[in-house]
Amino acid sequence: MSFVAAADGTPIHYTVSGRPDGEPLLLLQGLGADSRGWIRQRRAVSGTYRCIYVDNRGVGKSGQPPGPYDLEVMADDAVRVLDDLGVERAHVMGASMGGVLTQIIGVRQPDRVRSMVLACTACRHHPWRLELLEEWREVAANDGMAGLSQVAARWLVGPRMLRRLRTTIDLVAPLALNVPAESFVAQVDAILALSDDVRFELAEVTCPTLVIVGSQDVLTPVGDSEELAAFVPGAELAVVGGGAHGFMVEQGAAFNRTVVDFLGRASAASTTRV
């Protein structure tokens, strides 16, 4: 079990697995989720990469300081993990809020990033999504995470899965329920406070970038990924059929194939440039 102290002293938990001599791959999860959210990716990437799984502040085994949180600070938390491991540059894969953290790292500290995978994420706020997050914030604060899971499920899991496969919900729900309501609220506050400034800085990104989204994602729809891919020079866009916001679980095999193929090509391109 490994920890590094953030700038404000908050302990940030991380685990390392995979090939000790592999290229580093930093994985960042989304709102309310800890590193267990990558459960279906671990086997797919561990045979090739040195995988670094981070629990964002407020979730998992990381510290849970009082909120509100700040996404710029959370991105710095992740970079401190790389510093603690002596890693100069890593592939960075982020899902949802973790995708925003990945964008911030890619823009603010491009020398630390070999490539980016931006999964089910966006580069700006929409009024309807701000209203939704504010609603989730109130539900979590007043009714706890158990109440929120009932409200949020249809936004996270595809309709067919929601109707037919309770197994998927059983996998996803504990990842959300495990976070204290106060920490969830603090992370929501960080998202709500984010300006759109980083969106226009994405044009300066030079590393290989994959933007990947599920075709049935209603929380960060395909249009968000299309916009994001348009901002990042040379970015690839992949749409996984039948996947909703939790598509790395729902459609894990298709997600993994696409990501592993991209990372392989990004690694080859990096080696060629060197």
Give CA–CA dist 56/179, Å, rounded. Answer: 11
Write the pLDDT tens digit of every residue in 200-221: 899 999 999 999 999 999 999 9
In this model, does residue 163 exceed pLDDT 90? no
Pick from 184, 93, 192: nearest CA to 134: 192
Give CA–CA dist 263/16, Å, rounded. Answer: 18
Give CA–CA dist 36/172, Å, rounded. Answer: 10
pLDDT of residue 177: 57
In this model, does residue 252 exceed pLDDT 70? yes
Pick from 22, 101, 33: nearest CA to 249: 33
Mean pLDDT of the 61-85 span: 97
pLDDT of residue 119: 98
Write the pLDDT tens digit of every residue in 96-151: 999 999 999 999 999 999 999 999 999 999 999 999 999 999 999 998 988 887 77
Write the pLDDT tens digit of every residue in 13-43: 999 999 999 999 999 999 999 999 999 999 9
pLDDT of residue 172: 52
**Do residues 119 and 93 touch, judged by C-beta distance below 8 A?**
yes
In this model, does residue 164 exceed pLDDT 50? no
Write the pLDDT tens digit of every residue in 90-103: 999 999 999 999 99
Average pLDDT over the chain, rounded to an integer: 91
Q: Residue-wise over 181-197: b if at least 16 C-beta within 10 A, else e?
A: bebbbbbbbbbeebeee
Pick from 203, 204, 205, 207: nearest CA to 267: 207
- Sorted by where each starts, the structural domains of the chain and their CATH numbers stand as 2-273 (3.40.50.1820)
User: pTM to 2 decimals?
Assistant: 0.93
Q: How many other CB atoms are there within 10 angstroms of residue 130's CB atom?
A: 12
Give CA–CA dist 233/81, Å, rounded. Answer: 27
Pick from 203, 191, 215: nearest CA to 223: 215
In this model, does residue 271 exceed pLDDT 80? no
**Do residues 35 and 27 touch, judged by C-beta distance below 8 A?**
yes
Pick from 107, 125, 178, 129: nearest CA to 149: 178
